Structure 1
Amino acid sequence: MYNCSKLRTKTEGVEWKLDVCRKNVTTLLNADRISSLPDELILEILSCMDAKLAVQTSLLSTRWKLLWTSIPCLNFFSRSFDSSLKVGNFVSNFLSRRNHQVDVSSVKLDFEVGSQEILAQIVNYAVSRNVQKLLVIVNNKRLLFQDASLCPFSSKSLKKVTFSIPCRTPTTTWDFPALTTMHLESVEFFDNPVDLFSKCVNLKNLTLEKFAVFVQVFVISIPQLSNLRLNNGKNSIIVNVVAPQLENLTIRNCSIEKLNAPQGLTSLCYEDYHPPQLPRDCFNSLNKASVNFHFSRITKPYKEIDARETINMLQELHSAKCLTLNLDIVELLNVYGGLLADVTTYLDAAIKMDDASAKVPLDTYSSTIFESWIHAMQVF
């Protein structure tokens, strides 16, 4: 006969163990594990949050009350406010109560409501606290600034800057000796930026996005520049790039008629609706070049002038070890194959067609070769 007392003892033992497990799980679930983290790690977490949310964590406990005052990365997003007045009040209170002994490593401003004065207040405070990274984005087109006076003209600590602001560039020189990377978007140039960048002696990476130029000849002169990107520019008729250290040049949809670039360029990426005029013997160091033209031929055939200008441009890129062309260019040159008979320049390169994903070695420009390209495209 089975011993009921032993069975009851075993059952009670199992229940006791389950009860202990439940208590342990409940303790773990109720524990404030984030608060047990060191301050340095918590500050890293708060640095990824909007400044308003970071301040609200002060209500969690006594320990959290002042943690937000020491975050090194400041993120201000105006979408959490419904008026410029509330944005301004919050910014003033935040900056005045922040721990001023702690430097600011980065600042991100993303404004839909606000004013130029509020942005200037934040930027000037960040510069006074040795900020290294500064990103300013204005998403409201109605907030059109007459100039970029909110941008500090002097900072010994700034290394990376992004300004996406509908404004004119300042007439005063930017004094950023430590700056290495700059991204400007929605900016208008009414004067050449020669003096603007003259004190950015370590600037190596520059991107101009959705910019407009109101001078006949647009000059970009930066001695240490190695990477330059020009995207979606307006009125940039003649562009002179004076940068002896430049290695990579990318230009997309800028409607440039004449482009002057420094010798020593190793990579060129060019995309537009028509070819620019290039200087002779300035692209002899190219390792790779990518050329994409989107000729307008919806209601009319290819133009001979486009073919001649394209051939002239490709002649100047003959030193490229790898040249990438899009289908529009290949079809254009196939239509005007007779023009190729007058070209005697040889290519020590291989041309890769974007649309065909095929490489064809070139001995010379000839209509026969372009016919073989068309055949290769049909195969692929």
Structure 2
Amino acid sequence: MESTCNTIIRDEDSTSSASENEDRISALPDHLLLKILECLYTPTAVQTGVLSTRWRHLPHQLSNLQINAEYFPGTLVDQIMTDYTDVISRFLSPPPCGCHRIIRILQLCFYLADPYLSSIAHAVGDALKIGVPEYLEFAATGHVACPSEAELVLFRQRFMSFFHAWPGPFSLLTKLTLRSLSFEDSDIPNILNTCNKLKLLSLRSCQMGQDPVLKIDAPCSELIGLELIDFGCAQVELISAPKLLELVYDSWCGENPPVYFRYVPQLVNLYFASPALSWHTPFTLSECLSGNRNLSMLHLNFRTQRFGLNLKILDSSLLYSVN
């Protein structure tokens, strides 16, 4: 009996101490509470009831919002996306308290599942009525680990329908990441034309459909970074990307050379990584880059395999590594 009594007393002391600590924290001014809140993954904090009455108005004052569907609990995409859209609708809705709010960074990572994409667009539209973020990022992905060809086409259809239905938010994007889509030849040009503030484009585990060549012809684009990770196509043609500073191309399955460089006068960093397959023919990289005099960093990774590569240094200041 004594042991049980001691346990109860310790629990009461612990509860009392926790309550006192919470009271001390809640007594802090709003700007300090916001700093604490920004260190947490906020949607999870709200869902688990961490926020007390004292804190409930604070999420509407956060200036940095990163909400990723992959971190939401659940195994069914409908369950996850229902919770996800509920959270972003609450976080991006106009502040109920009438307080001033500026969202500087907004990063949304979500699954390409219907009918939730329109809810995401509505929530972002509400946020844009208050002000345009300095940094706006969408990361859209299929919810299947190893999608079939039909699923790649389906995810592409969902994304492009979303894209065409809501051009406003896309025109303000800073970064766009797409995963598990099978593109048609006009998709990337349409994306670059509409997303006229886009600086970073990342295409992961995607592929070109009927036309096996990815063409980047965007003379008015603000694009400074392009990532192609496990991207399925026969060839990449950088026809015109005047502000492009960095290209990352990791794993290609087409012929060599993997990229034809046309007008990319500002290209500074180039990263090539891919297994050296037996049927790959050697190529002279310096000839591909002969018109790129600003290139200062070159990284080549052939997964520790031997590969026939003729590299003529274009400039003595060029830093390069070969793995």
- TM-score of the aligned structures, taking structure 2 as reference length: 0.64
Quote the residue 1:207 is aligned against.
Answer: 202
Assess, with a 3 A threshold, how the Cα gap between structure 1 residues 30 and 197 changes in structure 2: closer, same or farther.
same
Q: How many residue pairs were aligned?
A: 267
Please tell me whether the aligned partners of residues 219 and 242 of structure 1 are also in contact (alpha carbons under 8 angstroms): no
Paired residue for 1:293, among 288, 292, 302?
Answer: 302
Tell me what 1:188 maps to. 182
Q: Provide the rounded CA distance (Å) in 2 between the counterparts of 1:293 and 1:263.
A: 24
Deviation per CA, 1:157-213, whole angstroms, max 9, x where unpaired? xxxxxxxxxxxxxxxxx533xx43333333322124223211333333333222211
CA drift of 1:27 comes to 7.9
Partner residue, 1:252:
250
Which residue of 1 is the match for residue 41 of structure 2? 49
Partner of residue 167 from structure 2, selected from 153, 159, 170: 153
- Counterpart of 2:205, as a letter, is K
Cα-Cα RMSD: 4.0
Q: 2:268 aligns with which of 266, 273, 284?
A: 266
Larger C-alpha radius of gyration, 1 or 2? 1
Q: Is the 8 A contact 1:283 1:319 kept in 2?
A: no
CA contact 2:180–2:204 (8 Å) conserved in 1: yes
Asked whether the equivalents of residues 111 and 140 of structure 1 are also in contact (C-alpha less than 8 Å), the reply is no
How many angstroms apart in 1 are the aligned matches of 2:175 and 2:33? 29
SS in 2 for 1:291: strand
Query: In the alignment, residue 295 of structure 2 is paired with which amino acid?
Result: L
Distance in 1 of aligned mates of 2:158 and 2:67: 23
Tell me the residue number matched to 1:5: none
In the aligned structure 2, how far is the partner of 1:180 from the partner of 1:94?
19
Q: 1:126 to 1:279 in 2, by over 3 A?
A: same
> Does 2:89 align with 1:80?
no
Of the three residues 283, 286, 290, the one matched with 2:292 is 283
How far did 1:280 drift?
A: 7.3
Distance in 2 (alpha carbons) for counterparts of 1:93 and 1:286: 44
SS in 1 for 2:49: helix
Q: Percent identity?
A: 21
The residue that corresponds to 2:29 in the other structure is: 38
* Structure showing greater relative contact order (alpha-carbon pairs closer than 8 Å, 6 or more residues apart): 2
Matches of 1:241 and 1:266 in 2, distance apart? 17
TM-score by length of 1: 0.56
* Separation (CA, whole Å) in 2 of partners of 1:90 and 1:232: 28
1:322 to 298, 318, 323: 318
1:195-254, Cα deviation, whole Å (9 max, x unpaired): 321133333333322221122331112333333232221123242341122233232212
Change (3 A) 1:38 1:75: farther
Q: Measured at CA, do residues 320 and 95 of structure 1 come closer, stay the same or move farther in structure 2, by a change above 3 Å? A: same
1:150 CA drift (Å) = 3.4
State whether residues 110 and 139 of structure 1, in contact with CA within 8 Å, keep that contact through their aligned partners in structure 2: no
Residues 270 and 127 of structure 1: CA distance in aligned 2, closer, same or farther (over 3 Å): same
Matched, 1:123 2:115: no
Distance 2:191 2:88 in 1: 32
Q: Distance in 2 between matches of 1:280 and 1:71?
A: 45
Selected match of 2:212 from 208, 213, 216 = 216
Go from structure 1 to structure 2 and tell me whether the alpha carbon gap of 1:109 and 1:320 turns closer, same or farther (over 3 Å shift): same
Give the letter for the 1:189 counterpart. Answer: F
